[in-house]
Amino acid sequence: MPIARFWRETPRRYNLGGSRCAICSTVYFPPRSVCPTCSAHRQSLGKMEPFHLSGEGEVVTFSIVHEAAEGFEMQVPYALAIVQTIEGPLLTGQVVNIAPEEVKIGLKVRATFRKLREEGPAGVIHYGYKFAPKEEAGRGPGAGQEAEPATIPPVSPESSRARA
Protein backbone atom coordinates (compact mmCIF):
# COMPACT_ATOMS: atom_id res chain seq x y z
CA MET A 1 0.00 0.00 0.00
CA PRO A 2 1.44 3.41 -0.91
CA ILE A 3 2.43 5.49 2.11
CA ALA A 4 0.12 8.40 1.14
CA ARG A 5 -2.91 6.08 1.03
CA PHE A 6 -1.83 4.48 4.32
CA TRP A 7 -1.91 7.89 6.07
CA ARG A 8 -5.24 8.90 4.47
CA GLU A 9 -6.85 5.74 5.84
CA THR A 10 -5.35 6.15 9.33
CA PRO A 11 -8.40 7.81 10.96
CA ARG A 12 -10.76 5.04 9.85
CA ARG A 13 -8.38 2.18 10.62
CA TYR A 14 -7.21 3.33 14.06
CA ASN A 15 -10.44 4.88 15.32
CA LEU A 16 -12.98 2.45 13.83
CA GLY A 17 -14.39 5.45 11.99
CA GLY A 18 -17.54 4.71 10.07
CA SER A 19 -20.54 6.72 8.99
CA ARG A 20 -24.17 7.04 10.04
CA CYS A 21 -27.09 8.07 7.88
CA ALA A 22 -28.80 11.17 9.29
CA ILE A 23 -32.12 9.98 7.78
CA CYS A 24 -32.41 6.34 8.94
CA SER A 25 -29.55 6.20 11.53
CA THR A 26 -28.00 3.08 9.96
CA VAL A 27 -24.29 2.79 10.80
CA TYR A 28 -21.71 1.62 8.23
CA PHE A 29 -18.10 0.48 8.43
CA PRO A 30 -16.14 1.31 6.39
CA PRO A 31 -17.78 4.70 5.88
CA ARG A 32 -20.13 5.27 2.94
CA SER A 33 -21.09 8.44 1.12
CA VAL A 34 -24.61 7.17 0.24
CA CYS A 35 -26.98 5.09 2.38
CA PRO A 36 -28.17 1.93 0.58
CA THR A 37 -30.83 1.35 3.27
CA CYS A 38 -32.89 4.49 2.63
CA SER A 39 -35.68 4.04 0.06
CA ALA A 40 -34.44 6.98 -2.03
CA HIS A 41 -30.65 6.79 -1.95
CA ARG A 42 -30.30 10.36 -3.23
CA GLN A 43 -31.90 11.68 -0.01
CA SER A 44 -28.84 10.53 1.91
CA LEU A 45 -26.33 12.42 -0.28
CA GLY A 46 -24.52 14.88 1.97
CA LYS A 47 -26.33 13.50 5.03
CA MET A 48 -23.87 10.79 6.00
CA GLU A 49 -22.22 11.76 9.29
CA PRO A 50 -18.86 10.53 10.63
CA PHE A 51 -19.42 7.94 13.36
CA HIS A 52 -17.01 6.31 15.82
CA LEU A 53 -17.75 2.64 16.55
CA SER A 54 -17.15 1.51 20.13
CA GLY A 55 -15.44 -1.72 19.09
CA GLU A 56 -17.69 -3.81 21.32
CA GLY A 57 -19.59 -6.71 19.85
CA GLU A 58 -20.34 -10.40 19.73
CA VAL A 59 -18.97 -13.25 17.64
CA VAL A 60 -21.65 -14.38 15.17
CA THR A 61 -19.51 -16.92 13.32
CA PHE A 62 -15.86 -17.93 13.20
CA SER A 63 -13.36 -20.27 11.64
CA ILE A 64 -10.13 -21.75 12.96
CA VAL A 65 -7.33 -21.07 10.48
CA HIS A 66 -4.73 -23.85 10.24
CA GLU A 67 -3.17 -22.91 6.89
CA ALA A 68 -2.18 -19.26 7.17
CA ALA A 69 -1.73 -16.69 4.45
CA GLU A 70 1.81 -15.50 3.70
CA GLY A 71 3.22 -13.58 6.65
CA PHE A 72 0.91 -15.20 9.23
CA GLU A 73 2.46 -18.68 9.34
CA MET A 74 3.79 -18.20 12.88
CA GLN A 75 0.30 -17.47 14.25
CA VAL A 76 -1.53 -20.68 13.30
CA PRO A 77 -3.84 -21.93 14.50
CA TYR A 78 -5.91 -18.79 15.08
CA ALA A 79 -9.58 -17.86 15.14
CA LEU A 80 -10.95 -15.52 12.50
CA ALA A 81 -14.40 -14.22 13.37
CA ILE A 82 -17.23 -12.10 12.07
CA VAL A 83 -18.26 -9.79 14.88
CA GLN A 84 -21.62 -8.00 15.09
CA THR A 85 -20.85 -4.63 16.68
CA ILE A 86 -23.34 -3.12 19.10
CA GLU A 87 -23.85 -0.30 16.57
CA GLY A 88 -24.79 -2.77 13.83
CA PRO A 89 -21.97 -3.28 11.31
CA LEU A 90 -20.29 -6.65 10.92
CA LEU A 91 -16.48 -6.63 11.17
CA THR A 92 -14.05 -9.42 10.39
CA GLY A 93 -11.01 -9.89 12.58
CA GLN A 94 -8.74 -12.27 14.40
CA VAL A 95 -9.71 -13.22 17.96
CA VAL A 96 -6.71 -12.96 20.31
CA ASN A 97 -5.95 -13.55 24.01
CA ILE A 98 -7.94 -16.78 23.93
CA ALA A 99 -7.20 -20.29 22.68
CA PRO A 100 -8.84 -20.81 19.28
CA GLU A 101 -10.81 -23.82 20.55
CA GLU A 102 -12.37 -21.62 23.28
CA VAL A 103 -13.91 -19.15 20.80
CA LYS A 104 -17.69 -19.64 20.67
CA ILE A 105 -20.61 -18.01 18.89
CA GLY A 106 -21.99 -15.38 21.26
CA LEU A 107 -18.57 -14.56 22.80
CA LYS A 108 -18.52 -10.89 23.84
CA VAL A 109 -15.47 -9.14 22.41
CA ARG A 110 -13.90 -5.72 22.16
CA ALA A 111 -11.60 -4.37 19.44
CA THR A 112 -7.96 -4.02 20.37
CA PHE A 113 -5.25 -2.55 18.18
CA ARG A 114 -2.24 -4.68 17.30
CA LYS A 115 0.72 -4.69 14.99
CA LEU A 116 -0.30 -6.50 11.82
CA ARG A 117 2.89 -6.40 9.76
CA GLU A 118 5.99 -4.41 8.90
CA GLU A 119 7.23 -3.53 5.42
CA GLY A 120 10.84 -4.59 5.82
CA PRO A 121 13.11 -3.83 8.79
CA ALA A 122 13.00 -0.05 8.16
CA GLY A 123 9.52 0.08 6.60
CA VAL A 124 6.08 1.28 7.62
CA ILE A 125 4.55 -0.61 10.54
CA HIS A 126 0.88 -1.44 9.92
CA TYR A 127 -1.48 -1.62 12.88
CA GLY A 128 -5.08 -2.72 12.78
CA TYR A 129 -7.87 -4.07 14.92
CA LYS A 130 -8.27 -7.56 16.29
CA PHE A 131 -10.78 -8.72 18.88
CA ALA A 132 -10.19 -9.88 22.45
CA PRO A 133 -12.72 -11.34 24.86
CA LYS A 134 -14.42 -8.40 26.53
CA GLU A 135 -13.28 -9.32 30.03
CA GLU A 136 -9.72 -9.71 28.70
CA ALA A 137 -9.52 -6.60 26.48
CA GLY A 138 -6.97 -4.17 27.83
CA ARG A 139 -5.35 -6.70 30.20
CA GLY A 140 -2.37 -7.49 28.00
CA PRO A 141 -1.38 -10.34 25.78
CA GLY A 142 -2.25 -13.96 26.37
CA ALA A 143 0.13 -16.85 26.02
CA GLY A 144 1.69 -16.91 22.58
CA GLN A 145 0.16 -13.62 21.45
CA GLU A 146 1.98 -10.50 20.32
CA ALA A 147 2.36 -7.59 22.73
CA GLU A 148 -0.16 -4.77 22.83
CA PRO A 149 1.12 -1.61 21.12
CA ALA A 150 1.11 1.69 22.94
CA THR A 151 -2.24 3.44 23.12
CA ILE A 152 -2.94 5.17 19.84
CA PRO A 153 -4.38 8.66 20.31
CA PRO A 154 -7.37 9.63 18.13
CA VAL A 155 -6.22 10.75 14.72
CA SER A 156 -8.00 13.58 12.95
CA PRO A 157 -8.22 13.78 9.14
CA GLU A 158 -6.25 17.05 9.31
CA SER A 159 -3.30 15.50 11.13
CA SER A 160 -3.19 12.54 8.73
CA ARG A 161 -3.25 14.88 5.71
CA ALA A 162 -0.27 16.74 7.11
CA ARG A 163 1.74 13.47 7.10
CA ALA A 164 0.85 12.51 3.48
Q: Which helix (H) or strand (E) holds 133?
A: strand 125-133
How far from the centroid of its chain's Cα atoms is residue 33's Cα? Answer: 19
Is residue 154 within 8 Å of residue 15, measured between CB atoms?
yes
Whether the CB-CB separation of 74 and 49 falls below 8 Å is answered with no
Position 160 scores a pLDDT of: 39
Rounded CA separation 65/36 (Å)? 33
Helix (H) / strand (E) element for 20: namely: strand 17-21
Q: Give the model's pLDDT for residue 136.
A: 54
With a cut of 50, list the residues of the chain below it in pLDDT: 137-164
